[in-house]
Structure 1
Amino acid sequence: MSRIRSVRSAAAAVATLDRRTFLAAAAATGATAGLGLAFGPGSGSAGASQPATAHAAGRRVVQAPAAPSTAGTTLETFSAAHGATGYRRLADGPAWSREVRSEITGAKGGREDRRTALASFVQLTDLHLTDVQHPMRYEFLRAGRPGAWRPHEALTIAGVASLIERINGLRGGPATGAPLSFVMTTGDNTDNNAKIELDWFLTAMNGGRITPNTGDPRHYEGVQNSGHKAFWHPEQALRDADKKLGFPRVDGFLAAALRTVNSPGLRLPWYSTIGNHDDLAGGVYSFGRGYYTDFATGKRKLEIIPAADAERLFKGTRVGDDPKGAQMKALLDAHAKDMRTVTPDERRAPFTQDEYLAAHLDPAATGPGPVGHGYTKANLEQGTLYYSFRISENVIGVSLDTTDPGGHYTGSLGTAQLRWLERTLKAHKDDYVIVFSHHYSRSLDNMNRDPGRPGEARHGGDEVVALFQRHPKVLAWINGHSHKNEITPRGTFWEITTASHVDFPQLARVFEVVDNHDGTISLFTTLIESAAPHRTDFSDLSQTGLAALYRELSFNAPGASQKLAGDATDRNTELLLRKP
């Protein structure tokens, strides 16, 4: 069994490292050291995954586990709001404690002195990297729903660069010190299913320069200089709805928001999972490519509609009664004369699933690896977006495609994928399994047929949960979509849903899988914020200053839920499981 010992000091770690532990540490940290251990992506959809291979790009450097550290995590501090009403400023606040959860099995004393780490990695989810000038954005719904538009959306790129900086700065797992071996992003990487956003996402993850500006390169063309009082106009004296709530005037904001951002890129190998915003118009509609492409790349942009129209369309979207977008098309046609003229841009065209796969498989997008970031040529040939991959010697990961191409923002699995999942679990009956998807189980209730496979049935969350319960080595199902932290015991495994990085509290989560050597396994979860300071300075429009402002604006966004952090038991935890 591959083991990485948890230690109370770095010296103790080195002293107690046996040969097997030494090799496991090398496999987990080679990519971090930049010297070439990128784990293979397994077999994609072609069958059960094969053992991963490690490719040396130079001399291997072995890094022993570090001393466990809370530095850079919410175990050390968390952003806290000051004041009781109006626009509230953020500053350093009290840490979130670690909660032990024993609903599945009890915790035994002394486990902290004998545990060994089996895996240690990071989850990102719901980054929603956004072209805020895109013609097919639904900001106009804000007339009836304040939360339909986010005042901080223009800063998503600066925000994700700061989050990547935080991940790169972690010394190891906060509970064990075990080296982090990879990052998984669980979907909604883009917001508008636009090719330019996909390019920004891949560049952000791999490192490079991103200019988050489309259309006219000289001028911003969006709702924040539209003159409509429903939106925050940061550079104008206009008494808009958000300024009435205390939002500041920030001169130079729009120019700074469209300025080139330098992403450090992840130092760890990373894997990708698709979400509904990566696959559907606005994450909701299956318009058909012709209509969506013409509108997305064109010169017309609707910015505001009457509140009653917005409320009616929003309610219909919530219940899923317009998956093909017929009502949305009718609304856009009805308001054709009300649209703003903007600069067309072919880069805003939607990407297909094949284009999504091809972009990941492009050698120029490899970054720290692996090639394809989990996806393989077999996925591209077969038109599938699910795969398995080797995490460590005795742990595999499974990435699912829970989006429904038939439309609506909830999801499901097609029969072919469900049968592949069953085969994969059977083939790995001797491995521990970690499952990743975008949607959480309760949101897998969308039975709209896939237009590309109209004869194939769809399957919901209850069926997937039951399948995992029949395979006791499934330890966790890790997902996002709800933008809320929630951890749920499922009898034999834990379902772990993580908040987004677009809505406050803007988090990612570190996972450590640990054998306690007492008949139990522990899953440690630790939440992290971006590296940006909690305090903001409205005159600081540097990349770091904008990332801090991104967080503070998200806290104050009108209509935003203040419950997305979840309860204490949904945040930093130790989740106990019986060892199968």
Structure 2
Amino acid sequence: MPAYSRRHFLTGSAAAASAAALALVDGRFASAAALDRAAAATAARAVRIEGTTLEQVATPTGSGGYRRLRSGPGWPLVVRTDLASSSAARDTRRTGLASFVQFTDLHLNDTESPVRFEYLAPFNGAAYRPQEALTVRGASALVERINSLSGGPFTGLPFSMVMATGDNTDNHELVELDWYLRVMSGGRITPNSGDPNRYEGVQNSGSAEFWNPESAFRDSFKAKGFPEVPGFLGAAGRPFTAPGLRTPWYSTIGNHDDSIEGTLPDLGLLHSLYTGDRKLEGCDESEAAKLADALRNDPGQAILRLAKLLRSGGPVRDITPDPRRAPFSPTEFAKAHLDPAHTGPGPVGHGFSAADVAKGRLYYTFPIAEGVLGISLDTTNPAGFADGSIGTAQLTWLESVLRAHSGHWYDSDGRVVRGGSGGQLIVIFSHHTSASMGNLLPDPHHLFEKRHDGKAVVDLLQRYPHVVAWVNGHTHENRILPHGHPTPERAFWEINTASHIDFPQHARLIEIADNGDGTLSLFTTLVESAARYETDFGDTSDAGLAALYRELSYNDPHATPGARLGGPADHNTELLLTKPGR
């Protein structure tokens, strides 16, 4: 499909543009004809669509247990007027203000780590994924996609930055952090730990509970149609050179960057297991059920059960110990970003300053574009469990930043308070969504500090009309939520994007534009990695593995791909918003 020029963007039909908004019934396109009209409207309005899901989308083909992927029709733009109405002439008046990229939930994974719970997959599908040995190559293919794009599809503006909104690593290990920093900034990577000459994990265990790709053994995955791929594990751990982003990038911390398996508080009790020489590869179903329940409800009990299982719970494999598997602390996570070896396209520290690292403060501000400010929050709770919250100190800091950069705001009684002249548009970034910030357990490092949930953050943001969006991850789903308010300028959009480990493996392009009519448009366009759609089970080249990464994720029997996709109104959208007054 050809690229579309600026002239297409400026002369697009407003009537056609509205078709995408009118064609939805119960969140889906009403008919094939409505979908075609929406696609035509999208093509007419875009500067370019190539390389995005506006152009093409990974689509399953065939039937049966294991399904192959192919290129399918792209997803059209959906105009959402939940928070503001659209004007017919906005395309001819529009001025682009900012264009940037969101990565989220990369989960770069040391699959050979002793502190993993693959045998809990029947109770928690995230404990084991057949594609997880390929996370590093998959993330690098995503970087390649962003490098191939010249800018936003609707404003044409080059990307000013990439933000990774947490769960950049899977089990907060030093080796995973090193892989993440090299994927983002570029460099030579060996995605293997322990013995560099062999794989020592569950995928060559001979257990029927896991996919054994190099063996003819009839495991439960092959019974569902999974292939035998000779040389898969050796190729997955083979060194390769990651190109790294050409665009400045930033990091936000997530619960998997902070806790054991993203769930257990890291109190130093399991450090010797991380770097040790024993890996539990299975256990009795009853014991697995008890451990899975403890992980959800009682972290202390989970640690005790895990230690007991490692002593006498099931098949334990002798593996090569590796000090690089040691877990890092949140402060060490931030400090590693300051290493000059990982500066890449910048900025130095990727959002984290030496002063903030010294204070243990992992939240910060940064410029997205002229007149647009980014705020990165730390929503992890060191007390454990996957969901998050923030402490009073961070909430107070957030309000001080909002006040400093807003032309006016509303006090708790709804009265307007005037600040300085003008004000910046503000985009909030965090790992957790507003709905997943209900973990109010006391922070063990600040026992007397109150924790605050997502509603408290939403209430605060709605007092500052210059907040236009809250961008986050964690759920591994595409979901866009309007936060309306009786005063229209106090509304904002919450933009939640799927992960890059589970299908559909998306990232998101976000553009902000001034429509010249008292409204703003936020364009949100999903992108896939640069990997081809078609796979070849005999091809274990870097390109072949990147393609297989996506297809395996679609077929993961512990996942439900359709549940993570979201609907058309969560995919490629134009989100209308009332422009804040001066």
**What TM-score results when the alignment is normalised by the length of structure 2?**
0.87
- CA displacement, residues 150-169 of structure 1 (integer Å, 9 cap, x when unaligned): 00000011101110000000
Deviation of 1:272 (Å): 0.6
- 2-structure distance, mates of 1:85, 1:356: 43
Task: Give the SS at the match of 2:59.
Answer: strand
Determine the C-alpha separation between the residues in 2 that align with 1:161 and 1:456.
39
Measured at CA, do residues 144 and 443 of structure 1 come closer, stay the same or move farther in structure 2, by a change above 3 Å?
closer
For structure 2, the residue ranges without an aligned partner over 5 or more in a row are 12-45, 407-422, 485-490
Please state how far the C-alpha of 1:414 moved relative to its aligned partner: 0.6
Equivalent pair of 2:295/2:302 in contact (CA under 8 Å): no
Does residue 306 (structure 1) correspond to residue 305 (structure 2)? The answer is no
Deviation of residue 333 (structure 1)? 1.2
Contact 1:439 1:481 in 2 (8 A): yes
**3-state DSSP of counterpart to 1:218:** coil
- Three-state SS of the structure 1 residue aligned to 2:50 is coil
Choose which of 256, 277, 285 in structure 2 pairs with 1:277: 256
Match of 1:519 in 2: 518
* Matched AA of 1:567: G
Quote the offset at 1:145 in angstroms. 4.6
Cα separation, partners in 2 of 1:138 and 1:200, compared to 1, 3 Å: same
Aligned residue among 323, 340, 358 for 1:346: 323
Q: 1:80 deviation in Å?
A: 0.5
> Are the counterparts in 1 of residues 518 and 579 from structure 2 also a CA contact under 8 Å?
yes
The CA deviation string for residues 535-577 of structure 1, in whole angstroms up to 9 with x for no partner, is 1111111101100000000000012022111011001000000
What percent identity do the matched residue pairs reach?
55
What secondary structure sits across from 2:448 in the alignment?
coil
Amino acid in the other structure paired with 1:296: Y
Given candidates 259, 266, 288, the residue that maps to 2:245 is: 266
CA distance in 2, matches of 1:145, 1:425: 39
Moved more, 481-490 or 305-314: 305-314
Question: CA-to-partner distance for each residue in 1:157-209, whole Å, 9 max, x for gaps?
Answer: 11011100000000110111111111000000000100011011001100111
Distance 1:69 1:292 in 2: 50
Offset of 1:483 from its aligned partner? 0.3
What's the CA shift string for 1:494-525, capped at 9, x where partnerless? 00000000000000000000000001000000
* Counterpart in the other structure of 2:437: 444
1:330 is the counterpart of 2:305: yes
1:142 deviation in Å? 2.2
Equivalenced residues, count: 518
**Aligned-residue offset at 1:452:** 1.3
Contact 1:292 1:350 in 2 (8 A): no
The 8 Å contact of residues 415 and 459 in structure 1, kept in 2 or not, is answered as yes
Whole-Å Cα distance in 1 between the matches of residues 107 and 266 of structure 2? 20
- How far is the alpha carbon of 1:9 from its aligned partner? 7.0
**Aligned residue for 1:18?**
none
2:211 matches 1:232 = yes
2:280 is equivalent to residue 292 of structure 1: no
RMSD in angstroms over aligned alpha carbons?
1.7
Change (3 A) 1:128 1:146: closer
Task: Pick from 466, 482, 485 the counterpart of residue 475 of structure 2.
Answer: 482
State the match for 2:460 in structure 1: 467
User: C-alpha separation between the residues in 2 aligned to 1:145 and 1:462?
Assistant: 28
1:218 Cα deviation after fit: 1.6
Number of the residue aligned with 1:162 = 141
What amino acid does structure 2 have at the position aligned with 1:573?
Answer: T
Q: How has the CA–CA distance of structure 1 residues 146 and 452 changed in structure 2, closer, same or farther, with 3 Å as cutoff? A: closer
Change beyond 3 A, Cα 1:147–1:273: closer
AA in 1 matched with 2:139? V
Give the counterpart of 1:200 among 159, 179, 182: 179
Give, in whole Å, the separation in 2 of the partners of 1:353 and 1:222: 27
- Provide the rounded CA distance (Å) in 1 between the counterparts of 2:122 and 2:166: 28
Residue 388 of structure 1 aligns to a residue in which SS? strand
Deviations 1:15-52 (A, max 9, x none): xxxxxxxxxxxxxxxxxxxxxxxxxxxxxxxxxxxxxx
Range with greater deviation from structure 2 (524-533 or 443-452): 443-452
Q: Which whole-Å CA distance do the structure 2 matches of 1:418 and 1:398 have between them?
A: 12
Counterpart CA distance in 2 for 1:170 and 1:263 is 17
Measure, in 1, the Cα distance between the counterparts of 2:190 and 2:104.
22
Counterpart AA for 2:272: D
Question: What does 1:63-102 align with in structure 2 at a 5 Å threshold?
Answer: 68-102=47-81
**2:566 alignment partner in structure 1:** 566
The 5 A counterparts of 1:1-400 are: 7-8=6-7, 68-146=47-125, 148-289=127-268, 291-318=269-296, 321-323=297-299, 325-337=300-312, 338=314, 339-400=316-377
Can you list the C-alpha shifts for 1:63-96, whole angstroms capped at 9, x where unaligned?
A: xxxx821010000000100123210000111111
| Residues 229 and 538, structure 2, Cα contact 8 Å, conserved in 1 | yes
Tell me the distance in 1 between the aligned counterparts of 2:472 and 2:10.
36
Whole-Å separation in 1 of the counterparts to 2:196 and 2:304: 29
* Alpha-carbon distance, 1:238 to partner: 1.1
Q: Is the 8 A contact 1:509 1:525 kept in 2?
A: yes
Shift of 1:335: 4.2
Corresponding residue for residue 505 of structure 2: 506
SS in 2 for 1:185: strand
**1:398 to 1:261, Cα distance in 2 relative to 1, 3 A:** same
Per-residue deviation, residues 361-400 of structure 1 (Å, max 9, x unmatched): 1122111000000111121121100000112221100000
The CA deviation at 1:237 is 1.3
Distance 1:360 1:453, change over 3 A: same
1:428 Cα offset (Å): 0.4
- Residue 446 of structure 2 aligns with an amino acid whose one-letter code is R
Shift in Å, 1:10: 11
CA contact (8 A) 1:143 1:230 kept: no
Deviations 1:97-145 (Å, cap 9, x if unpaired)? 1100001111111111110111100000000001110110110102545
CA distance in 2, matches of 1:11, 1:463: 41
Structure 2 CA distance for aligned equivalents of residues 9 and 518 of structure 1: 20
> Which residue of structure 2 lines up, in the alignment, with residue 577 of structure 1?
577
* Structure 1 Cα separation of the partners of residues 309 and 518 of structure 2: 64
Q: Give deviations 1:270-301, integer Å, cap 9, x for gaps.
A: 01100000010111111412x22111000111
Name the CA shift for 1:493/1:252 in 2 (closer, same or farther; >3 Å): same
Cα deviations by residue, 1:459-510 (Å, 9 ceiling, x for unpaired): 0000000011111110000000000000000010000000000000000000
Residue in 1 aligned with 2:15?
A: none
**Contact map agreement 2:62 2:68 (CA 8 A) in 1:** yes
3-state SS, counterpart of residue 385 of structure 1: coil
Shift of 1:148: 2.9
Q: Normalising by structure 1, report the TM-score.
A: 0.87
Q: 1:91 to 1:126 in 2, by over 3 A?
A: same
- Tell me if structure 2 keeps the 8 A contact 1:143–1:304: no
**What 5-or-longer segments of structure 1 have no aligned partner?**
1-5, 13-66
For residues 399 and 536 of structure 1, the distance between their equivalents in structure 2, rounded to whole angstroms, comes to: 38
Task: Report if the CA contact (8 A) 1:182-1:268 is conserved.
Answer: yes
> Contact 2:275–2:325 (CA<8 Å) still a contact in 1?
yes
Structure 2 counterpart of 1:420: 397
